[in-house]
Amino acid sequence: MSKETVKKTCGGRPRRTSVKSESACRLRAVSVGCGGRAQAHIKAMLESGVVDLLAVCDLDEARLKATAERFQIAKTYRDLGEMIQKEKPELVDIVTPPTIRTSIVEPAVRAGAPAILIEKPIALKPSETRKLVELGRDRLIAVNTQYQWKPHWKRFWPILEKGGLGEVRVIRASTLANILEQAPHTLDLAMKAARLSGLPEPQWCLAGASGLEHFGQIPVPADVTATFGMGEVRLQINHGPSAPPVPGETVKWYHIQVDVLGSRGRLWVSLNQGWALWRSGKFESGKTEWGKNDGEAQSALYVHLRDTLHGGNIREFPTRVEIAARNSDLMMACYASALGGGRVQLPIPLSDDVVDRLKGLGSSTASA
């Protein structure tokens, strides 16, 4: 097949083009929500070089206008459905709180959104997670757990896939923040490391929890420690005050680390205090920097979305809703075990009662 004239589809428009020009085909996107995190999304979209941001939408007129002016976006909407029907985007980037997740995603799907990106956590209750999986049956719904696109992690994934650490025996992931706040990121990294290393899905969970915080009106354990069995391998997570601090870190939200131990090596990665890699008798280390790496990762995620929506298999996108839902179910399994379930076998069907019963863990404290 000639490299000069290959029939492709760009943004839903068939055309004959060169391979080089096809790689420059841009993704037609709209953004829903103009809050603080949305500003980072929009900035990353524009810096990625692969996104045409057609319009932004928000119910808050002042915030909508300020965002449009800041990024020089010509079209603004206060109605999500109207924006999708008029602009006909390929991607709807929804950057709104999880407390209103399904109430935003459902009308976006009804309006014809072919692909949707949502923020973490995917949902706050098991029923919401199942609803989002159902909504994603015939389209790509992806979750914005962007850490796996950071430059250092993109280097480490092939090492793990090729068995560079030998047989993986233990994976540890931790953060000082509560499980609902940061486990979507830590579990995303830990479970991707496990899957690339050829490990089975978790078969059981044993967890303990203490204290209570809230995400909106949703209760969440302030402190959780859990072990998952994956054959002979163990995944250990720790979220909350009992988690080990990252050496040298001074910001609470940056105390995030993932450790992969194998028979011939070890990989340790922190959010903001560097990484270290031991393998084949050699040692390497490097820097990690939250602000810089996060922007790089967010832009790289949009590039991957563009490539997937313009010809890739959407069922292979690494943070698609089905995978994010499995990770969310692991969090909910921690709840079930900590609430007196002992060692629970996975997968386990859970009702929203597992969240409601968390109120018995202790008195309420404010969660950021």
Helix ranges, the chain (H): 19-23, 36-48, 61-71, 80-87, 101-110, 126-135, 151-161, 179-196, 290-309, 321-336, 353-356
Classify residue 100 by its DSSP letter.
G
Q: So what's the pLDDT on residue 215?
A: 85
Rounded to whole angstroms, how far apart are CA atoms 213 and 224?
12
Rounded to whole angstroms, how far apart are CA atoms 275 and 267?
8
Please compute, for residue 55, the number of CA atoms within 13 A of its CA located in the half-sphere on the CB side.
19
Q: Which domains does the chain have, with CATH numbers?
A: 9-119 (3.40.50.720), 148-288+318-365 (3.30.360.10)
User: Which candidate, 212, 214, 257, places its Cα nearest to that of 238?
Assistant: 257
Amino acid at 96: T
Instruction: Report whether 146 contacts 125 (CB < 8 A).
Output: no
Q: So what's the pLDDT on residue 24?
A: 55
Q: So what's the pLDDT on residue 187?
A: 97
Rounded to whole angstroms, how far apart are CA atoms 288 and 284?
13
Provide the β-strand partners of residue 117: 93, 142
Instruction: Report whether 306 contacts 28 (CB < 8 A).
Output: no
Rounded to whole angstroms, how far apart are CA atoms 10 and 13?
5
Spell out the per-residue pLDDT of the chain, length 368, in tens: 333 333 344 544 444 333 334 445 999 999 999 999 999 999 999 999 999 999 999 999 999 999 999 999 999 999 999 999 999 999 999 999 998 899 999 999 999 999 999 999 999 999 999 999 999 999 999 999 999 999 999 999 999 999 999 999 999 999 999 999 999 999 999 999 999 999 999 999 999 999 999 988 899 999 999 999 999 999 999 999 999 999 999 999 999 999 999 999 999 999 999 999 999 889 999 999 999 999 999 999 999 999 999 998 999 999 999 999 999 999 999 999 999 999 999 999 999 999 999 988 874 443 33
User: Which candidate, 327, 277, 259, 289, places its Cα nearest to that of 164?
Assistant: 277
At 66, is the secondary structure helix, strand, or coil?
helix
1 contacts: CB under 8 Å, gap ≥ 6: none
For 299-313, letters b (16+ CB in 10 Å) and e give bbbbebbbebbbeee
Provide the β-strand partners of residue 114: none
Query: What are the phi and psi torsion angles at 86 (to 5°)?
Result: -85, -40
Q: So what's the pLDDT on residue 225?
A: 98
